[in-house]
Copies of this chain bind each other. A is one copy, B any other.
Amino acid sequence: MSAFLIVTPTWDATPWAKAMKAARPELDIRIWPETGRVEDITYAAAWLPPADVLKGLPKLKVIFSLGAGVDAILSDKTLPRGVPIVRVNDDDLTMRMSEYIVLQVLMHHRQQRRLDENQRNKIWDQFPTHAAKDMSVGIMGLGVLGQDAARKLAMMGFKVRGWSRGAKQIESVSSFAGHEQLDAFLGDTDILVCLLPATAETDGLINSALIAKLSRKGPFGAPILINAGRGRQQNEDDILACLNAGTLHAASLDVFRKEPLPKESALWRHPRVTVTPHIAADSDPAAICAYLARQIENFEKDGALQNIVDMRHGY
């Protein structure tokens, strides 16, 4: 008998258990810490699992990560060796992330915050605006999420550039790859969108030095930052300093070095910062469990798994 263990210490596991039961009724679903007989457990679905939990499952065949970023799994240094880790790659999650990116880009492009302030002050000001083709959006990270956002932004009329470790070919998107093309990419980017995975290489990447390399040729004379990747990628003191110095025009941040964002952070009340609580692409249990059920079905038929994490790159 095959059992499926849900390990989500920071989330309520109930909706996940319900959704998984609906997607694959024959599974014996268990919720950590009520593991039952550990020898029954062949599948685990986890988000921020505590140390030794997954390691203590002798018959484990597959680990499913319940979010787009696998750093929440890989932070468990006691992961069992040789057990494949599968990333979520789900249309619902992709659609939601693109909604967030398109929404935030349009809010900056159309100066919604200036309109909001005018509304509060009952000011009718038809200030001139610019066309989308005059704004260059640069996306760091061209995985499934980055590619979908890039296509949708191009369709809205923006000039879209993308940067990734290896070169990618995406219609209507100028691609830059690797460390040697990073500066050229940044110099051509008015709005920087970060969708990178959290790895040692991307840690602290968004700092004053990187912001200084962004384009100043855009309509606002200073660049804009949107981070929906991971908080560890950003230096929040640098971002605040650049905003206050005017070298960064505005920012939309969905992720933070410490989450929830501490009350004392100056980001909460900065007039040029939009703070959202790590909801850019929330995981919908029904959609994700349907994906897990399809993966399990294929795996039990012929051992095939999709979207296995490449441990060399960490995503």
Q: Is A81 an interface residue (CB 8 A)?
A: no
Contact residues in B for A279 (Cβ distance below 8 Å): 115, 126-127, 129
CA distance A95 to B277 in the complex (A): 31
The answer to whether B282 touches A131, judged by C-beta atoms less than 8 angstroms apart, is: no
Residues of B within 8 A of A131 (CB): 92, 95-96, 284, 287
The number of times this chain is found in the oligomer is 2
16 A-B interface contacts by CB (under 8 A): A92-B131, A98-B156, A102-B102, A103-B106, A103-B107, A103-B112, A115-B277, A116-B274, A118-B277, A120-B269, A122-B269, A124-B259, A125-B277, A131-B287, A152-B155, A152-B156
A169 to chain B, nearest CB (A): 20
Who on chain B is nearest to A100 by CB?
B110
Query: Which residues of B have CB within 8 Å of A133?
Result: 95
Chain B residues with CB under 8 A of A278: 126
Residue A290 lies at the interface, judged by CB distance under 8 Å to chain B: no
B274 to A102, Cβ gap below 8 A? no
Closest to A94 in B: B157
Q: Mark A249-264, 1 if CB is under 8 A from B, else 0.
A: 0000000000111010
| Residue total for A at the interface (Cβ-Cβ under 8 A) | 47
One of B98, B120, B132, B152 near A99 (C-beta < 8 A): B132
Q: Does A109 contact B (CB under 8 A)?
A: yes
A277 near B109 (CB under 8 angstroms)? no
Residue A82, interface by CB 8 Å: no
A119 contacts B274, CB within 8 Å?
yes
Q: How far is the CB of A43 from chain B (nearest CB, A)?
A: 25
A276 contacts chain B at the CB level, 8 A cutoff = yes
Please give, as numbers and ranges, the residues of chain B lying within 8 Å of A275 by CB-CB distance.
119
A187-223 contacts to B, CB under 8 A, are none
Chain B residues whose C-beta falls within 8 Å of the C-beta of A120 in the assembled complex: 269
Q: Does A128 contact B (CB under 8 A)?
A: yes
Whole-angstrom distance between the Cβ of A200 and the nearest chain B Cβ: 27
Q: Which of B106, B155, B263 contacts A106 (CB 8 A)?
A: B106
Are B115 and A276 in touch, CB under 8 angstroms?
yes
Bound together, the chains give a CA A59 to CA B206 distance in angstroms of 63
**Interface pair B261/A95, CB less than 8 Å apart:** no
Q: In the docked arrangement, what's the CA distance between A100 and B131, Å?
A: 12
Q: Name the B residues within 8 Å of A268 (CB-CB).
A: 119, 122
- What distance in Å separates the Cβ of A144 from its nearest Cβ neighbour in chain B? 15
